[in-house]
A = this chain, B = another copy of it.
Amino acid sequence: MSPKYAIGVDFGSESGRALLVDVADGRELATAVHPYANSVIDERLPDSGVQLEPDWALQDPNDYIEVFKQAIPAVLRQSGVDPADVIGMSTDFTACTMLPTKADGTPLCFLPEFRNRPHAWVKLWKHHAAQPEANRLNETARALGYDFLDRYGGKISSEWFVPKAMQIVDEDPEIYAAADRLIEAADWVIWRLTGNETRNLSTAGYKGIWSKREGFPPAEFYKALDPRLEHMVDEKLSRNIRNLGEKAGGLTEEAAAWTGLRPGTAVAIGNVDAHVAVPASGVTEAGRMVIIMGTSNCHMLMGPDEQMVPGMCGYVEDGIIPGLYGYEAGQSCVGDHFAWFTENCVPAAYEREAAERNISIHELLEEKAARLKPGASGLLALDWWNGNRSVLVDVDLTGMLVGATLATKPEEIYRALIEATAYGTRIIIETFEQHGVPVHEIVATGGLPDRNRLLMQIYSDVSGRPIRVSAAKQGGALGSAMHGAVAAGAAAGGYDSIVDATKAMARLRDEQYTPNPEAQAVYNRLFAEYVTLHDYFGRGDNDVMKRLKALKAEVLGAGA
């Protein structure tokens, strides 16, 4: 039998990436990136030039189709693989990224009469203009005693599905009425590929307030939010929520023509970028935490049973790996800290040194920071430059640094910021463990582990846990390809479960980071200080951060 291949397409915030892998071992044969022509639409609508309010972030669904048309043919071309040997494909998406469509899947923004209406377009995950709606949702749910909030760390985010739908009905009810469907882009692209409208369990569970046992909240809840939303689930969503890795259908003739693949090629149900990265990192069991480390940290962890863990982003039965509860937590700001620091706080002398030695400023800072012993700077930071996601779930918290002296050097502050994010991860780990979800090992993936050995060692020293690094250069796209192989099934040369696919296709690097006992002892003492300050500033002892932020809004005339 000839070798079989699968394709994964990873839809990011600015571009889509296709990856073609060998189904036997996950070997990457070709990859291609296609940037979205309209990128993130946050100032003016394309064509009409209609101006957007602050905090908006839209996208053009046509850009997603273009990824299929450009990136998939590119990987076929590069690899020379016969399309007949591509047994399956799948996609993963940012979430919640959602759009209104007609009954046949046509996005409202494709229709001339709605093209100049902002609410007709895709709302990207980082569209933050539905905060008033999120506040109303949370207050209503609390007032009426709905306990689904407990599944989401006590709060539904403005980034999620229902607040975004509420904003449409609040601000452009005509668009809401004209929408036969409100759908995650993750599901919409699968609909375009297969002709079948499906809804995946992951976005429904993590972003859509759905659970396997309770389904969606009852109609009375939606009615309490807005009478027009009472029957939203039945009118515009679907109660048929499909498991991850299931086959959504085969490629249509049209999609086959776009991609150069064969009509009928198996396509898996939609999925979420962070979640497919878990099996792509070799993890399908409980107790091993996968952290995607990039601009922010996303922590994913499975457990065999249902536990209420305060301050996580959500947990969903079967939400990452079928048969397990998938727990998600997050840190709002990790790589972004270092980028901020590099842009704003690194003196010219360091830039000159980096230029002379032909290394990046990050490399220079890492080199200088790596020479410092734990505890030697006397500095301690709270890593809240972009608020705190887990476990405090508070966007109004801000960054803090203590211990500065006239001898404090930039690399000491840089290292303190790295350490602070590691303490933040340790708080998440300890919160999970205190609530019955153990964490034995960490597997890191994403952009940071690749190029930042110091960061990895500090995370190991601070957390007291071994850290492995995923070998996948493109965790999202590999995870999608693996799900495509599962959709194809073993009979077609793929796999019957994501566990089987993971055993064959996912690998870790040989290198392993293990805690250095001496460093760990120092970090235990520093972590105790971190926890005290974390609770003092974060749990209400002194709400100075919120008051400073409110005062700032007041003096800038922006309201609180």
Contacts and interface: CB of A to CB of B under 8 A. Distances in A.
A404 B409 CA distance: 18
Contacts of A346: 347-348
B375 A554 contact: yes
A537 B537 CA distance: 13
B555 A373 contact: yes
Interface stretch (A129-137, A158-166, A393-401, A490-498): A393-401
Contacts of A340: 406, 408
A514 to B, nearest CB: 20
A1 interface: no
Nearest to A553: B378
Contacts of A243: none
Nearest to A549: B378
A376 B558 CA distance: 11
A415 B351 CA distance: 24
Interface stretch (A120-128, A193-201, A528-536): A528-536
A368 B548 CA distance: 20
A402 interface: yes
A377 B333 CA distance: 19
B402 A398 contact: yes
A545 B375 contact: no
A385 B405 contact: yes
Given A410-B344, A555-B375, A545 B398 contact: no
Contacts of A402: 398-401, 537, 544-545, 548
A346 B375 CA distance: 25
B405 A398 contact: yes
A243 B88 CA distance: 97
Contacts of A401: 400-402, 404
A386 interface: yes
Contacts of A378: 398, 548-549, 551-552
A379 interface: yes
Nearest to A386: B406
- Copies of the polypeptide in the assembly: 2
Chain A, interface size: which category?
Answer: 35 or more
A375 B552 CA distance: 5
Interface string A219-263: 000000000000000000000000000000000000000000000
Contacts of A352: 348
A348 B547 CA distance: 32
A526 interface: yes
A402 to B, nearest CB: 4
A289 to B, nearest CB: 26
Interface string A328-371: 00000100110010011111100110000000000000000000
Nearest to A372: B555
A454 interface: no
Given A346-B347, A347-B346, A547-B529, A385 B400 contact: no
A406 B385 contact: yes
Interface string A406-423: 101110000000000000
A374 interface: yes
A3 interface: no
Nearest to A374: B555
A403 B554 contact: no
A380 interface: yes
A144 interface: no
A552 B400 contact: no
A413 to B, nearest CB: 8
Given A399-B403, A409-B344, A377 B552 contact: yes
A345 B410 contact: yes
21 contacts: A340-B406, A343-B347, A345-B347, A346-B348, A347-B348, A348-B348, A375-B554, A376-B555, A376-B556, A378-B549, A379-B548, A380-B544, A385-B404, A398-B404, A400-B401, A402-B545, A402-B548, A529-B548, A532-B542, A533-B542, A536-B542
Interface of A: 333, 336-337, 340, 343-348, 351-352, 373-380, 385-386, 398-406, 408-410, 522, 525-526, 529, 532-533, 536-537, 542, 544-545, 547-549, 551-552, 554-556
